[in-house]
Structures are given as C-alpha cells and as structure tokens.
Amino acid sequence: MRPIIYVLLIILIFTLGAIWVLSFGTFAEFNIALFKMDRKILSTFFKFASFWAEWPIILTALILSFYKWGNYALMWVVSFAIEGIIIQILKRFFDAPRPVESFTYYIKRIDDISFAHYGSFPSGHTAAVTFGTGLILWTLFAINPKQKIFISSLLFFGVVSTALSRVYLCQHHLQDVLVGGIIGAALFFLFFVINSKIFPVLSK
C-alpha cells in the first residue's frame, strides 16, 4: 500500500470514529463506558492487542524492512527511534493526566496491568502501531505489489484494536489514541519521504 493512501485511510478511520462517538454523546461518556466495561475475553484480547504495539510491531516492521532493503533499512531504525522521541517530547509538553488520575472512580483492575501516571497525551502505543503498520504495509507492497487485501485488512484491524485497547485497559483517553494514531501515520509518511530522498532505493 502506498504511504499517502495509508495515511489518508488512517485519518479517515480515526476521524469517522470520532464523529461516530460524538454522534452518540461525548468523548468522556465513551471513555467511561470503556473504562467500566469488564469482560474476561475482552480483557485478554485487548492485553494482547496492546502488547502488539510494543516490541512485536517494531521487530516485525524492521525485520521485513531489512529483508527487502538490506542495510538501507538502518534509516528506518533511526526513524522509529526519532518517532518515539517526538512522542515522548509531546507527552512531557502536554503532561496530561492518565485516566487513573482523572477518572478514578471508573477505573477497573485487570490482572497484570499496571497503570501509568504520566504523559497521557498523545498515546505512544497508538503512534507506534500506526508508524510500524505503515512500514509493514509499504514493505509488503514493495515485495509484492499485488498485496492481498486480507493482510491489509488484518493490519488495519490491529491498529484499531490497539487504539481501543489503550482506552479499555484504562491507560488512555479516546482523544489520546485518536491524535496518537494520526501523528504516528503522519510521521511515517514524513520519514518515508525523507528516507526516499536520501536513498531512492527505499521508494522502489
């Protein structure tokens, strides 16, 4: 999938999601509904979805990148690192409270989940998964232009699931993940353009 198409689809999906939520109420109401929801099967699923946005998505994206472009993929290692630094800078700049601090009475306790207490906005997990998914989709497209729609749909489902998991697990507010996802996708496109200018082989 071409990077610009990916970014536009992410923006469309997250914007439509926000519109859908606002058509039934407010972000706060949606947040509280997910914070209070407590189903064992959902807790298990969302724990794995959230974990996917940590080192698994990074390793998968970078391994595929090295497979396709060899040592040129080092540019993507640097890009991923810079993406993480940018998100951390934004977290510290906004210093927004986490749900456990701003919605104390609605927070549920889930086994093996510890609550973060700093930098809620934007969501680093959502930014990482949208950045990494963009790299995976682009690499798969470069390996095989006739990329299967099933794989693309599965990866997009992973992005949405990760975003929802961060709210369900009471780690972020909805607005944190919506903005985090858009930032992650936009940074992927920015670094794709930069890396392609430095090493044109990365755009082929």
The rounded mean pLDDT for the chain is 92
- CATH number, position 195: 1.20.144
pLDDT digits 0-9 by tens, 64-85: 999 999 999 999 999 999 999 9
pLDDT digits 0-9 by tens, 3-54: 889 999 999 999 999 999 988 889 999 999 999 999 999 999 999 999 999 9
Instruction: Note the pTM of the prediction, 2 decimals.
Output: 0.94
Which domain covers residue 176, as residue numbers?
A: 3-203
pLDDT digits 0-9 by tens, 122-132: 999 999 999 99
The total number of structural domains in the chain stands at 1
* CA pseudo-torsion sign 122, 203, 7, 43: negative
